[in-house]
């Protein structure tokens, strides 16, 4: 049992609040749960994403948030139809959809970026 109970919140920093909302709400189809002068809470199944506007924010190269899915191919295809472009990393050996399979096949991952360059992922396994 956790010492602290409540709804988990992941923080994602963005430089342009409206552009981020257009992507997370419009493209990823997340719902705004609440807003204040500093950012927005987006509803997930059992958790929240907090988009925090930080003018001049520069994204890092590693993932900041991801979804564990039951069918990664279906997830990649659905997001691709909504305009998401999956990142192909040189030398990773990803398939045509951008999905990387770990040695032995135990896990599969596909990466994409939000408009600020924050790396997001889908994973299965």
Radius of gyration of the chain (CA): 15
CATH of the domain at 84: 3.10.180.10
The Cα 68–Cα 109 span in angstroms is 9
The answer to whether residue 38 sits within a structural domain is: yes
pTM: 0.93
Question: Could you tell me the pLDDT band of residue 2, with boundaries at 50, 70 and 90?
Answer: confident
CA angle 110, 78, 11 (to 5 degrees): 55
The answer to whether residue 1 sits within a structural domain is: no
The Cα 102–Cα 84 span in angstroms is 23
Are residues 122 and 76 part of one domain?
yes
Are residues 68 and 113 part of one domain?
yes
The Cα 100–Cα 56 span in angstroms is 31
Are residues 109 and 72 part of one domain?
yes
* Model confidence pLDDT, tens digit, residues 82-120: 999 999 999 999 999 999 999 999 999 999 999 999 999
Are residues 96 and 49 part of one domain?
no
3-state class percentages of the chain: helix first, strand second, coil last, to nearest 5: 20, 35, 45
Are residues 47 and 100 part of one domain?
no
Number of domains in the chain: 2
Are residues 71 and 33 part of one domain?
no
Does the pLDDT value for residue 81 go beyond 80? yes
Domain of residue 16, residue span:
6-55
Q: Is 79 exposed, middle or buried (0-12, 13-18, 19+ CB in 10 A)?
A: buried
Last residue of a domain, one of 14, 32, 55: 55
Per DSSP, helices labelled H in the chain are: 17-21, 72-81
Are residues 79 and 42 part of one domain?
no
- Per-residue pLDDT averaged across 52-62, rounded? 94
Query: Would you state the pLDDT for residue 4?
Result: 86
């Amino acid at each position: 049992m956790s010492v602290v109970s409540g709804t988990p919140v992941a923080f994602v920093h963005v430089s342009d609040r409206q552009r981020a909302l257009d992507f997370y709400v419009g493209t990823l189809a997340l719902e705004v749960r609440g807003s204040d002068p500093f950012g927005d809470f987006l509803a997930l199944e059992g958790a929240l994403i907090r988009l925090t506007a930080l003018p001049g924010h520069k994204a890092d190269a590693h993932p900041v948030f991801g979804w564990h899915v039951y069918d990664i191919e279906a997830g990649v295809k659905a997001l691709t139809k909504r305009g998401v472009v999956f990142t192909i990393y040189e030398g990773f050996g990803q398939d045509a959809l951008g999905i990387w399979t770990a040695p032995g096949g135990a896990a599969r991952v596909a990466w994409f970026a939000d408009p600020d360059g924050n790396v997001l992922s889908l994973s299965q396994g």
